[in-house]
Amino acid sequence: MRYFLIFLIAFTGSSVIAQGTVKVTNVGKGWADNSVNVTIFRKNSLVTFRNTQYIAFYDDSANVIIGKRELNEGKWQLHRTGFKGKVSDAHNVICIMADGDGYLHMAWNQHNNNLHYCRSISPGSLTFTQQMPMTGIHEDEVSYPEFYKLENGNLIFLYRDGGSGNGNLVINSYDIKSKKWSQVNGNLIDGEGKRSIFGEYNWFYQKPENQHLFQFFEYFQGDSGKGLGASHQTGWTALVASLISELSKG
């Protein structure tokens, strides 16, 4: 099984270019058969609470690893959580966030499936609760989890409920006083069963016999997401994706 070393690159000083001070920290061995540890839509796999920094990644056996270190130290304390992810699907990223009391919250292994969520048993701990629900509402087809911390220490959790082209944006809120989640909105953005890239031609691609006909466009309209330029079922977008995949294999 191929793996790579997870590195943390820390920049110090007010002007990185002027001072040229870069510190690289070796964290540990991570999964490297695809981009699940580094994909662009992954949010908050590295967070800081006061003087402690936390990191989350899949190791070379697909285990969820949580680590922490003091900001002025280079050595990481790593803990294998007992949770695993389907790392063959790069959608299944890990997302973490520390709330205002120092509890670490985590979601992982999410691509149109049941919510995988837990939190640390105490502030600063690398030991987590069992997998548990947040609100129990709209938690059957979760993708793209994102945590955000508010100024008062409470958390916001966003995710897509439903499949591609037919998902809704769900927003949950966590209160550090009650230590409970509540749902703010269940369909802030409604997919309406459509894919934005097809624009006014959605009617054609909504037909059962055409739903598998994905197009690869040259570029996209910034406001609507509609695909523009030449479109191909095996075009430049697919070629570039294939080249990136081959290059990642060394």
Q: Tens of pLDDT along 102-117?
A: 999 999 999 999 999 9
Q: Where are the domains of the chain?
A: 31-185, 196-248
Of 152, 138, 126, 119, give the one whose Cα is nearest residue 190.
Answer: 138
pLDDT digit string, tens, across residues 201-245: 665 656 676 666 666 666 667 666 677 666 655 445 555 666 666
Residue 141 has what pLDDT?
Answer: 93
CATH architecture of 31-185: 6 Propeller (2.120)
Specify the pLDDT at position 162: 84
pLDDT value for 195: 62
> How far is it, in rounded angstroms, from Cα 200 to Cα 213?
16
pLDDT in tens, 32-87: 999 999 988 888 899 999 999 999 999 999 999 999 999 888 899 999 999 999 99
Tell me, what's the pLDDT at 14?
38
**Percent of the chain scoring above 70 in pLDDT:** 65
Confidence of residue 190 (pLDDT cuts 50, 70, 90): low
pTM over 0.75: no
pLDDT of 240:
60
Q: What is the pLDDT of residue 200?
A: 59
Highest mean pLDDT (candidates 25-39, 120-134, 157-171, 177-191): 120-134
User: 52 vs 3, which has greater pLDDT?
Assistant: 52
Strands 52-58, 46-49: pairing is antiparallel
